[in-house]
Chains A and B, each alone.
Chain A
Amino acid sequence: MNCETKNGCEANATAHMQRATPACDVWQADDGVHVIAEMPGADPKSVEVTVEGDVLSLVGRAELPRPAARQDGGTTSVTVEYRRTFQLTDTADADAIEASCKDGLLRVRVPRKQPMQRKIAVSVG
């Protein structure tokens, strides 16, 4: 039951908890930056998208049943925690981030801040 170490999972993962870094596609489009993160098994209700400072965090949890042969201590499932962070730039509009989750995919769009336009009154004379 020492698969965590063998599989390269984080050292602080327990026998019933595995931590995984989800594979992500990231691309820049006209309407902002799009992120797709793979979180197979994650219940959409467990998915959290947060921004703290300039760090965007994507977290999801999946509870998967374990094979009977690998159950120990009466545990019949393993929880996988997906976690990935991205650093936002100054042009990202953190207040307008959109996210949705379906079929084990978390989709996030980070819009670009609209450039501030300030009209300067020109005095005559």
Chain B
Amino acid sequence: MYGIRHPRQRQPFGPLERLQAEFERGGLHSLPTSAAPTLEVWSEGDDLRLRALIPGVAPDDIEISVQGDVLTLGGGVRDAEPRAGDRWLRRERANGSFTRTLQLPFAIDADGVKARLANGVLELELPRSAAEKPRRIPVQHS
């Protein structure tokens, strides 16, 4: 019924290569297991920041878990799906649930993780575990 003028898809916030470039030292590995959302992860001071584009996901439908240096994001989209008898004209969006697991460069203080979701963008503050923060070793004078 409709002609699409600009069918070509673009990555709005950059491919995984750029994300990995942010972690030259840490070695970030991504293991998408389903319709994985677009992620950006970067370091800020000692900590990490993560942004996930998850349009259509309600706050109650997100699961975030942190264990050591492994972060798992899960969620699902509850859309008004076409009913029987309706006809698809174009289907470009990933649907259903997703799970994404990231191995981070260091362990995270799970109690200090902060999450905000607004307009389909999830932002996480991931503080580095105190046990892994660099410590200054005093040198004793002999």
Chain B interface residue number, banded: 35 or more
Is there contact, CB below 8 Å, between A44 and B56? Answer: no
Contacts of B51 in A (CB 8 A): 64
Given known A27-B82, A67-B40, A105-B55, contact A86–B3 (CB-CB < 8 A): yes
CB distance from B64 to the nearest CB of A (A): 17
Chain A positions within 8 Å of B56 at CB level: 36, 38, 103-105
Report if B138 contacts A (CB, 8 A): no
A62 adjacent to B121 (CB under 8 Å) = yes
The interface-forming segment of B10-18, B25-33, B96-104, B106-114 is B10-18
Known: A27-B86, A89-B1. A21 touches B6 (CB 8 A): yes
Asked if A94 CB lies within 8 Å of chain B CBs, one says: no
* CB–CB B10/A7 < 8 A: yes
CB contact between B119 and one of A41, A70, A89 (< 8 Å): that residue:
A41
Q: Which residues of A contact B49 (CB under 8 A)?
A: 67
By secondary structure, the A interface counts as: strand
Residue in contact with A28 in the complex, picked from B57, B86, B92, CB distance below 8 Å: B86
Contact B8 A41 (CB under 8 A): no
A87-B2, A89-B1 as given contacts; A24 in contact with B12, CB under 8 Å: no
Bits for B54-94, please: 1 = Cβ < 8 Å to A, else 0: 11111000000000000000000001101101111111111
How far, in angstroms, from A20 to B11 measured CA to CA in the complex? Answer: 7
Provide the A19-54 mask, 1 if CB < 8 A to any CB of B, else 0: 111011111111001101011111110000000000
Q: How far is the CA of A84 from the CA of B43 in the complex (A)?
A: 33
Known: A36-B79, A40-B121, A43-B119. A7 touches B92 (CB 8 A): no
Of the candidates A21, A68, A91, A105, which one forms a contact with B120 in the assembled complex, judged by CB atoms under 8 Å apart? A105
Q: Is B55 a contact partner of A38 (Cβ separation < 8 A)? A: yes
Q: Name A's B-contacting residues (CB within 8 A).
A: 3, 6-9, 18-21, 23-30, 33-34, 36, 38-44, 55, 62, 64, 67-70, 80, 82-89, 91, 103-105, 107
Using A27-B87, A104-B121 as known contacts, list a sample of 7 further A-B pairs with CB atoms less than 8 Å apart, ordered by residue number in A. Answer: A3-B14, A7-B10, A7-B14, A28-B89, A69-B43, A104-B56, A105-B55
Residues of chain B touching chain A, judged by Cβ–Cβ distance below 8 Å, are 1-6, 8-15, 18, 22, 40, 42-44, 49, 51, 53-58, 79-80, 82-83, 85-94, 118-121
